Amino acid sequence: MAETTGRVVGAFTASHSPGITGWPERAEPAKREAVESAFAEARSRIDALAPDVIIAVSVEHFTNFHLGNLPAFAVATSDSYTGPVTKEMGDFLNVEQHQYPGHSRLGRHVYEFALESDFDPALVEGGLEFDENFCVPFKHLDPESKYPLVPIIVNGVNPPWPTVRRCHDFGRMIRRAVEAQTEVQRVVVVGTGGLSHWVGLPESGQVNTEFDRDFISRFESGDESRLLSYTAEEIDAAGNGAHEIRTWLVAAGSVQVPFDVLAYEPVPEWLTGTAVAAARI
């Protein structure tokens, strides 16, 4: 049988507020229902796509990296990841600490392909631990942790950040990387973070619905010129946590099609504008 190249068969994005799993009951019931239904819909679509691997793109919140070593992008190539990082964080997120399977060969391939494509991500061969970045959304999207992951980290927690255009380009590179190998046939990309929120700041608990709805409009339009025109200052208007939308840009770049937002709810009790979206493939 002739070898066929891998494909990105789907892409999804979601918020990763600790409240989604840690204190879902504090949200208004209708909002909780909308968000959880959207997660369930995304899970069902992922299962229907039967991915061999999920490339999971998020920020990390000083769980691994710090200001002595803060990569703009990092690709992890381990075969296993611990999450949540501590039992305490597990209690906080209401996610039982466990091992998430990794796909080290595809991770290694993406890393090498990135270098050949003039990207210079950090290599994380082991030791990467998860916080809410992956543990919260994947509790809904893959509760049994059955899909092996290639985690990719984008700096969304400390300025200066990679530009939104660079994030989108990184996503496009991911697709080319997947298509440049034959071992892994079906890949789903999941980007997690955002939308508007403030962490550790006086505005914490606010939601900038105007920013969120405008971002969703751009994300659903598939119009790259609108999606890629954000400056860091414009994103700042939606809080330091809003910079996590870079993970959505990576996911968008990996498919370059419009997305459908399955739910958007401003949830002050979870401290975020909370959304779940799926690429229109």
Partner 1 sequence: MYSLHKLLWDIRKDPNLADRYLADPDPILDSYGIGGEDRVAMRELDFKAMYERGFNPYLIYFCAIQLKVDRADYYAQIRGEKN
- Positions touching partner 1 (CB under 8 A) are 61-62, 66-68, 157-158, 198-202, 204-205, 240
Query: Residue 107 Cβ, how far from partner 1 at the closest point, in Å?
Result: 24
CB of 192 to partner 1, least distance (A): 16
Of the two residues 17 and 254, which places its CB atom closer to partner 1 in the complex? 17
Q: Tell me whether residue 239 or residue 273 sits nearer to partner 1 (CB atom).
A: 239
Minimum CB distance to partner 1, residue 205 (Å) = 8
To partner 1, the closest distance from the beta carbon of 63 in angstroms equals 8
**Residue 142 token pair:** 């893959």
Closest to partner 1 by CB, 89 or 278: 89
- Taking the least distance from each CB to partner 1, the nearer of 92 and 105 is 92
For partner 1, the closer of residues 87 and 280 by Cβ is 87
Question: At closest approach, how far in Å is the CB of 245 from partner 1?
Answer: 16
Q: Which residues contact 148 (CB under 8 A, 6 or more apart)?
A: 52, 53, 54, 79, 101, 102, 103
Residues 6+ apart with CB under 8 A from 179: 5, 6, 7, 8
Name, in order, each residue with C-beta under 8 angstroms of 193's C-beta and a sequence gap of 6 or more: 15, 16, 58, 59, 133, 156, 241, 244, 245, 246, 247, 248
First to last CA, the chain: 27
Q: How far apart are CA 50 and CA 58, in angstroms?
A: 22
State the Cα–Cα distance between residues 140 and 41, nearest whole angstrom. 10
